[in-house]
Structure 1
Amino acid sequence: MLNKLILLFLLSATCMTGQTKSNTKVETYTSRKKLYEIKYAPERWIRADTSDWDVEFHDQYNLVTAYFIEYDYFISDKKLKSTIEDEYKEFGKIKNLKIYKKKINDLTVNYFECELDYNDLLYKYQGFIYNGKGGSIQMQFGAQAEAIEQNKDIIDELSNGISIVK
């Protein structure tokens, strides 16, 4: 009897997983130069237009914000650290900046992670810069430290949604 209950539970869990994946709606944001696209699930990421970045997303609870921009120039590996530090200088000094190579889909990117003390709250930022056709692109995620850790799966999902338009 116990084996039948376990089997029934496993079968129902498998069916529920299949239904969840097939019902997930996917939308696509195409970059302004039409070189990159980001596939995202609108029930997890809400798209917002912004004047500072090409596009901005936030999670459904408005805890994590993702920013994407296409630059009309290249950011060299030598200038990565100073470029990232300059982005945050008006908010304070960043600390624990780590930059490393990471593979996202077919792109080898310069991935970064850092922390920022702002108004006595610890914020974490992470993201990547990629030099490709037409210049550089940057995608970054920011939130209070706890929100970054709790939402790692949807951050990875949105990061993995970027690809080159073929």
Structure 2
Amino acid sequence: MSKKFILLFFLSSLFAIGQTKKASKLETYTSRKEIYEIKYNPEKWILTETSDWDVQFHDKYNLVNAYFIEYDYFITDKKLKSTIEDEYKEFGKIKNLKITKKKINDLTVNYFECELDYNDMLYKYQGFIYNGKGGSIQMQYGAQAEALEQNQDIIDELNNGISIIK
């Protein structure tokens, strides 16, 4: 009887080990001024270097793009709306621009959301601008409206991965 119990315990332990989810290994991007870092899951986000932004991410299906930049100046609340509008002017006029204060980790950011009709398709953008040590930073996400809505969970996850290096 005790041999059967030991065998049963051993088999159930193997089954339990096989059922445990493998923890995702996070990778870290460090900003060029080494003030901020972004922890991200490489199974969900692919990092690429870009010439227009410090770094670009895209989801594994290449539907949502995320862009991060560290500016050498501050973007004041007074200039926030015009700065965001200027970023999209070559693609068309943005509409439904909403800017709110939001807390991401220990950072109080100016979070924005907007829409843009481009080539008869509706695109949605969201992101934030934060004025902190060394200037401003911006994180921005963009995709067709349906893709952005369906991937809000991984957007929130990437947002929550940003922090100040202490």
Same fold by TM-score greater than 0.5: yes
- Secondary structure at 1:69 match in 2: strand
Instruction: Supply the distance in 2 between the matched residues of 1:104 and 1:28 (Cα, whole angstroms).
Output: 17
* Pairing 1:120-139 to 2, within 5 Å after superposition: 120-139=120-139
Q: Tell me how far 1:19 sits from its aligned partner.
A: 3.3
Instruction: Supply the distance in 2 between the matched residues of 1:41 and 1:133 (Cα, whole angstroms).
Output: 26
Instruction: Supply the distance in 2 between the matched residues of 1:33 and 1:157 (Cα, whole angstroms).
Output: 23
Q: What CA deviation, in whole Å up to 9, does each residue of 1:67-89 have, x standing for no partner?
A: 00000000000000000000000
Q: Does 1:95 align with 2:98?
A: no
RMSD over aligned CA atoms reads: 1.3
Q: Tell me how far 1:25 sits from its aligned partner.
A: 1.0
Gaps of at least 5 residues in structure 2 are 1-15
Q: Does 1:147 align with 2:147?
A: yes
Instruction: Supply the distance in 2 between the matched residues of 1:121 and 1:164 (Cα, whole angstroms).
Output: 36
* Pairing 1:57-136 to 2, within 5 Å after superposition: 57-136=57-136
Deviating beyond 6 angstroms after TM superposition, the runs of 4 or more aligned structure 1 residues are none
- Secondary structure at 2:158 match in 1: helix
Q: Does 1:163 align with 2:163?
A: yes
Instruction: Supply the distance in 2 between the matched residues of 1:19 and 1:54 (Cα, whole angstroms).
Output: 37
- Secondary structure at 1:33 match in 2: coil
**What's the TM-score once normalised by structure 1's chain length?**
0.88
Kindly provide the amino acid, as one letter, of the partner of residue 130 in structure 1.
Y
Gaps of at least 5 residues in structure 1 are 1-14
The alignment covers a number of residue pairs equal to: 150
Question: Aligned residues: percent identity?
Answer: 82
Q: What CA deviation, in whole Å up to 9, does each residue of 1:112-165 have, x standing for no partner?
A: 000000000000000000000000000000000000110000000000000000
